Amino acid sequence: MGEKHQTGIGRRQLLTGAGAAAVLGVSARPAHPAMDSIHWEREVDVICVGSGAAACSAATVASHAGASVLILEKLPMLGGTTAKSGGVTWIPNNPILRAQGIDDDKLDCLRYLARYAYPQQYTPNSPTLGLRESDYRLLEAFYDNGTKAIEFLQDNDIVKFQQFRMWHVDKVPPDYADHLPENKVPRGRCIEPASGAGASAGGGSLAVTLANWLKSQGVPMLTEHPVTRLIMAADRVVGVEVLHEGNTLNFKARKGVVFGTGGYAHNTDLVSLHQTALYGSCALPGSTGDFIGMAGAVGAQMGALHMAWRTQVLFEEALRDRELGLGAFVLPGDSMIVVNRYGRRVTNEKRNYNDRTRTHFYYDPTREEYPNQLQFMVFDHRSLDAFGGNFPLPSSPAGSRYLIKGDTWDELTANIAARLAGVADQSGGFTLDPIFRDALQDSVERFNGYARKGMDTEFQRGKHQYDSDWHELFSSHRKDTEYPVNPMPSLVMHPFSEQGPYYAFILAAGALDTCGGPVINEHAQVLAADGSPIPGLYGAGNCISSPTRQAYAGAGGTIGPALTFGHIAGRHVMQS
């Protein structure tokens, strides 16, 4: 997949040891050499750094416009974390919606995005919806250009899209905040590649399709070529330094450099600086925040660096390996709740992974603690047997080393406490409160009452369409289970069994990747500290400060903005 040069950097070495120099060899200062003294390995019009949706979107636009383009990827393979994703792309007012006669009105959509992304500022009757003008323009640029990006890819036979349907459920999914009154089009904004679509192939299909088109146009795609420094001429970015096989190479960009790289989820130094907690990530190991250092060295303005696309993860699994195959995205099971160290529920367990994970960061100012730092997914044998195989539930009790079992509530509590004691040096000594056992049983009894009535008066679990639709997808009923389909009023709630065994997992805050970094404007230009664009430098994807903040608008809420602002960058760089 591209032009490879073997360096012997293994998967684990990417984060530690010798490989870290290749991955994290980012200079603290830009290069300002005399232009006539530089030996350029290659000269092209546009350099795109990274090979996922953001970088390849920019590359397709520039290449189609006649520019010579070079793609530089630091990992041994192309596609980035896009290739690992489901490939779903959230695009407002997309061509498929319009073909169905559905009007995704601009102001209504912007109100939804603003309400979700900036709830503390949102003012519906303000000209900028209560947002800073620059933040409003980013949301507006997303709405205005998302559909243009899709039309460009389709009209030029680069990628064909179809409406995303929830795999074996065969439903058009609701947005992640379908219940907000501002959301006038709660279904249909999620699309996916028409070829190779589905849970296992979607992201790979999108990444491969983009890469194949670029290769067909003769675009060089160099893997194992990590960019380590930006090269400046006066106040303009004119190229990059690259580390390859221990040698420094210079690549010139006559028009501009577009970064479409990952966040910093696998850079533990940056995580420690900017995240309250982020124990593990589904991002590829190349997500080490390289662009933050390089952009900062040329005077880029940094946005909110604490942001991330979040998911709960199995705590003990993340302690063994920060790079995770899966997160606890939509928690499976109906006789299941999640409680904190006091044995109390903290949220609707069926909310989306990004929003639900943020409950880990509640701070108790009286006890001076994070009571939800670790949470406990508790369920009975019905949920394990009926929904086993839906991650994180194993197909059998012996199928997960992280599963905690107890024949009674007393035994389960004791076993959770023992498991916590075994990882105390990695959790800040987090323990269960003495009231945990009694409070847990009280929480279960309360929940059982809600399940029988079909109404959760604490957290409204099952009230909105999102809960039941995504539950169907991530809680598929096993054919050989001894338990019937849930007969209760709400599909997502079933009373716990009066007899054990009972089970638990320890949950912690993780991420798909971070989404904080340099600030861009509506043209995807990286901004200097004074707010002016840095000539020749562009950004899109998880390496920049997210234009939609931490609002995960719906399935594909990360790839949609990445693809769109990559498209914007590719178009604008051709005007330079």
| Nearest in space to 280 (alpha carbons), one of 239, 244, 310 | 310
Give bridge partners of residue 383 from the DSSP assignment: none
Q: Which amino acid is at 257?
A: V
- Helix (H) or strand (E) holding 442, with range, is helix 436-453
- pLDDT for 561 equals 98
10-residue averages of pLDDT along the chain (576 residues): 36 34 50 78 98 98 98 96 92 97 98 98 98 98 98 97 90 97 98 71 83 97 98 96 96 98 98 98 97 98 98 98 96 98 98 98 98 98 97 93 98 98 97 98 98 98 97 94 96 98 98 98 98 98 98 97 98 95
Cβ–Cβ under 8 Å, residues 289 and 304: no
Q: How many CB atoms lie within 10 A of CB 160?
A: 12
Q: Is the dihedral of CA 411, 415, 416, 420 positive or negative?
A: positive
How many CA atoms are closer than 13 Å to the CA of 60, on its beta-carbon side? 30
Peptide bond into 535 cis (omega under 30): no
Q: How far apart are CA 177 and CA 126, in angstroms?
A: 22
- pLDDT for 195 equals 80
Both structure tokens of 561: 């903005």
Place of tokens 């959790």: 427
Q: How far apart are CA 101 and CA 12, in angstroms?
A: 50
| Nearest in space to 283 (alpha carbons), one of 268, 312, 263, 307 | 263
Q: How far apart are CA 250 and CA 255, in angstroms?
A: 15
Cβ–Cβ under 8 Å, residues 507 and 531: no
- pTM comes to 0.93
- pLDDT for 168 equals 81
Domains of the chain: 12-84+203-310+514-543 (3.50.50.60), 89-198 (no CATH), 311-511 (3.90.700.10)
- pLDDT for 34 equals 65
227 to 237, 245, 286, 385: CA distances (angstroms) = 13, 13, 12, 49
Q: How many CB atoms lie within 10 A of CB 320?
A: 11
Cβ–Cβ under 8 Å, residues 209 and 159: yes
pLDDT in tens, 138-148: 999 999 999 99
Q: How far apart are CA 242 and CA 455, in angstroms?
A: 58
User: Backbone phi, then psi, for 203, in 5-degree steps?
Assistant: -65, -40
Q: Are strands 533-539 and 247-259 parallel, antiparallel or unpaired?
A: parallel
Q: How far apart are CA 106 and CA 64, in angstroms?
A: 28
Q: Which amino acid is at 364?
A: D
Cβ–Cβ under 8 Å, residues 412 and 502: yes
Q: Which amino acid is at 2?
A: G
Q: Which amino acid is at 295?
A: A
Cβ–Cβ under 8 Å, residues 191 and 197: no
Burial of 452 (0-12, 13-18, 19+ CB in 10 A): middle
Place of tokens 């699309």: 191
CB crowding 80-98: b at 16 or more within 10 Å, else e: bbbbbbbbbbbbbbbbbbe
Q: Are strands 190-193 and 308-314 parallel, antiparallel or unpaired?
A: unpaired
DSSP state of 257: E
Q: How far apart are CA 286 and CA 265, in angstroms?
A: 9
Cβ–Cβ under 8 Å, residues 245 and 94: no
Q: What number of helices (H) and strands (E) belong to the chain?
A: 16, 16
Cβ–Cβ under 8 Å, residues 393 and 383: yes
Q: Which amino acid is at 571?
A: R
Strand segments, DSSP code E, in 386-453 are: 404-406
Q: How far apart are CA 44 and CA 67, in angstroms?
A: 8
Cβ–Cβ under 8 Å, residues 81 and 283: yes
Cβ–Cβ under 8 Å, residues 254 and 269: no
pLDDT in tens, 12-65: 333 333 333 333 445 556 666 667 789 999 999 999 999 999 999 999 999 999
Q: Which amino acid is at 432?
A: L
Q: How far apart are CA 208 and CA 458, in angstroms?
A: 45
Q: Is the dihedral of CA 257, 59, 557, 189 positive or negative?
A: positive
- pLDDT for 3 equals 45
